[in-house]
Each structure stands twice: as structure tokens, then as C-alpha cells.
Structure 1
Amino acid sequence: MVLDALLKTLHVLAVVLWVGGMVFAHFYLRPSLTEFDPPTRLALMCSVLKRFFGHVLWAALIVLATGLWMIGRAAKVMVQAGMEFNMPLAWTIMATLGVVMVVIFFVIRFRLYPPMVEAVSTADWPSAAAALSRVRKWVTVNMVLGLVIVVVASMY
């Protein structure tokens, strides 16, 4: 019981950090930065994303580990009770979209973000802006997927 509560709490907190951070960046941080000149805006976003992505890396790993653990525990309990385990549709949707989100995050963090860092470090502002645009597009996709998962979880 205590382990189940701990796993669920860690899972939800990691989701809140990840999805909430994307919502904050998309709807509040990004629009507020339009007041600044491109070099300032791009350097600040590069710095913010570095911190955010470091935390999301841990959050994504925690979400995966706790989600798999909770599914495994539920399956084990049912099998030990002599019942067949059929994963609920909501869990299947959450797990599938969650794995897709992790893959997208890894693409963002390790493929799309490094060119932005390079461009900012060399003051190549057009390239930095283009790289940030690609990052923003995929973060938006992940944010939508995360919100779908939250809706599915709240309906389950």
C-alpha cells in the first residue's frame, strides 16, 4: 500500500513538472520574451531550456519507471489471484503516449537543442532562432500529448 502510494505520487509529481513546465514556457514565458531583442531572448531561452531539460530528463525516467512498475504490480496481483490481466484501455493510452513523449523529448534534447546551443554560443542569431522554432514545435506536440494523457488519467 505505501509503495503504491509512493509510486503514484512520484509519477504524478514528475508529470506535473514536465507537462506544467511545457505549459508555462509555451503560454507565459515565450510570449513575455517578445519584448526583448533576439540575442537576449535566444540566450535566455537557451539557458532556461538547459535547466528545464535537465529536470525533464529525470522526470521522464521517473514517469517511465513508476508507470511500468505500477502496471507490473497490478498485473502481478491479478495473476496471483488467479485472474487474467488485461490492461485497461486508459492505461494503454497513457503508456503508449508516454513512451512517444519520452522519444520526442530525447529527440528535442539530444538532436534539436544542441544546434541552438551552438548557434547562441557563436552569436548566430538566425540559426539560433530557427533551432528554437524547431524545439518549440516539438515541445508543443509533447505538451498536447501530455495534456491528452492528463485528460485520459482524470477520466479513468
Structure 2
Amino acid sequence: MLFNALKLLHVLSIIVWVGGMAFAHFFLRPAVQQLAPPERVRLMHAVLQRFLAAVGVAVVVALTSGLAMIGMVSIGGGFSMPRDWLFMSAVGLVMMALYAYLYLSQLSRLDAAVAAGDWPAGGQALARIRAIVGVNLLLGTAIVVVVLLW
């Protein structure tokens, strides 16, 4: 029962993370392109602050639940982690590192641009964020594909 609860938390956290990236990348960003730069940058800033805070929680939940499940399965020795779990773990850690870089470095650049009313700098920060989100979306999608088909 505990393992299933951990798996549920793990999957729900990934849905928030990967689903949110897909929504932002394919639906939100194209829709806000019709706005003037000040409105577009302010709106995306507000959305990203909320979304990245939620992703921070999702990262902690995914990491904690994943490690707990590995720990539960490995109790008693003789455990060899399946290939799809290894792939998920390795790529998930890369995604977490990219998230940390985005949150700790790129979001502060966007914060500064919005505070200064520097819309070109805000657009540049958003472009860097979009690129990182695009990579993470590809990695997250690859994890889902590998885990479901391998």
C-alpha cells in the first residue's frame, strides 16, 4: 500500500511538471505573442513564478518518492535496478539540474528585467527560459516513452 501511494505521488508530481511545461510551451506562449512586450513579459513572469514554485514542490516529491520506492524494493539485498528505472533516475537528475539552473539563474534575470521595466532584457530572459523548458520537456517526454515502452 505504501509503495502504491509513493508511486501515485511520484506520477502526480511528474504530471504537474511535464504537463505544465507542455501547456506553457505549446499553448500559453503562442497565445501571449499577440500582447505588447510589456504585458507579455509581465504575464509570463507572473505565470513562471507560480509554475516554477509548483515545480519546486514537484521536484522534491518526485525525488523523495523515487528514492523511497528504490529503497523499499532494495531492502533485503539482491536488488538490481531495472534499465527503465536507471534511465528515469539519470535523466530525471539532469532535468532537476536544469530546473535548478533555470530557477536560480534565469528567473532572477527575468525578475530584474521586469523590476527595471527593461522589456528587451525580459524577452531575452524568456527566450533562455523557453529553451531550457524545451529541453526539459523533451527529456521528460523521453522518460515517459521509455518507461511505458521498455
Structure 1 length normalisation: TM-score? 0.94
The one-letter code of the counterpart of 1:108 is L
- 1:3-152 alignment runs, 5 A limit: 3-77=2-76, 79=77, 84-152=78-146
Q: Structure 2 CA distance, aligned partners of 1:60 and 1:10? A: 11
- Hey, which bits of structure 1, 4+ residues long, moved more than 4 A? none
- Letter of the structure 2 residue corresponding to residue 59 of structure 1: A
Q: Secondary structure at the match of 2:123?
A: helix
1:75 deviation in Å? Answer: 1.0
Deviation of 1:86 (Å) = 1.2
Q: Which amino acid aligns with 2:39?
A: T
Query: RCO higher in 1 or 2 (8 Å CA, sep ≥ 6)?
Result: 2
Superposition deviation, residue 122 in structure 1: 0.9
In structure 2, the gaps of 5 or more residues are none
Q: What displacement does 1:153 show?
A: 1.7
- Counterpart-to-counterpart distance in 2, 1:32 and 1:3: 42
Structure with greater Cα Rg: 1
Letter in 2 for 1:145: L
SS of residue matched to 1:35:
coil
Aligned Cα root-mean-square deviation (Å): 0.8
